[in-house]
Amino acid sequence: MLYRVSRIVTLVACILCFSGIGVIDLSAQQKSLTRRYDPIVFEAYKSSAAMYGLPIAELTAYRYDAAQDRFEVIPFQVDEKEDTSPYSYFKGADGLIDSNDEIVFMPEDAGDRAGTDKWLNDAGAIGDARTEIEIVDPLDPTKKAWVYVFRNVTNPPVAASYMSYVAAPQNTGADTVKGASYVAAHNAKNGMPNYGRIVQANGSLTPDLIDHLKLRINGTAQIVFPIPYKATEDRNLNKARTRAVGGKVRIIREATAEERDQRTPGVEALKSA
């Protein structure tokens, strides 16, 4: 997906919205984006610093419905990253948006473009700027949608969550991730997926779709001299540990297990996210 972000000065919006002049804003456009299921992961550095330093706890995301002339709260999260490495989601957070962080929402939740004369009718939001995020389908640039991030909304409504997470019992890998359309669970010993069901159109779940997930490793253990070894998920992966971070739109999961070759004393940590 492609993105454009702009900050709209509240003073201008208030003049257009409340002055009674009756200005018609030609910037309003209807949503044409049709993609639904792949989440929008908007990297904060693409915002041209428009959102840098904003306190995450003060932000609420909305879609604009032109037909109803109203803003509607949507599920939205900011995944903080310490750096650009795959595992930096777990390295701590400062509560502020910086260039490494990722802003996440679903394309289906984006809406129409709101003109500058349209603003969230909230005293806190009126007192600050809003951020407009434009989503453009790279396969068809004519298809677009918009999300609006307001700051300091007074008593913001709670958006529904697509995700839930059940942590594994201590010292096991048997955690469970539930999304709006699926349930996935994991093996206690090695942390690998061992259960998966999809939500059908009538709301019921399919039978378990995972019979057995296999892993085969061929490598060389360097002790005094190279020793070739092989490993499998059921014989060699043990002592799984898991951790997860996330929010209402996605869960980021890390599983760590010990891999022990039956013929060598070496132990290595394997990670999968």
- Could you report the per-residue pLDDT of 41-62, keeping only the tens digit for each? 988 877 667 788 999 999 999 9
CA-CA distance, 108 to 84, in Å (whole number)? 27
pLDDT tens digits, one per residue of 87-138: 789 987 899 999 889 999 999 999 999 999 999 999 999 989 899 999 999 9
* pTM for the full predicted model: 0.81
Q: Is the distance from CB of 162 to CB of 185 less than 8 angstroms?
A: no
- Collapse the DSSP code of 191 into the 3-class scheme (helix H, G, I; strand E, B; otherwise coil) and give the result: coil
Give the model's confidence band at 14: pLDDT under 50 very low, under 70 low, under 90 confident, else very high.
very low
Q: What are phi and psi of 11, to 5 degrees?
A: -60, -45
**Rounded to a whole number, what is the largest CA-CA distance in the chain?**
84
- What does the pLDDT read at residue 77? 96
CA-CA distance, 131 to 148, in Å (whole number)? 6
H or E segment at 15?
helix 10-18
H or E segment at 18?
helix 10-18
Over the chain, what is the mean pLDDT? Answer: 84
- Sheet containing 40-43: give its strands across: 40-43, 102-105, 77-79
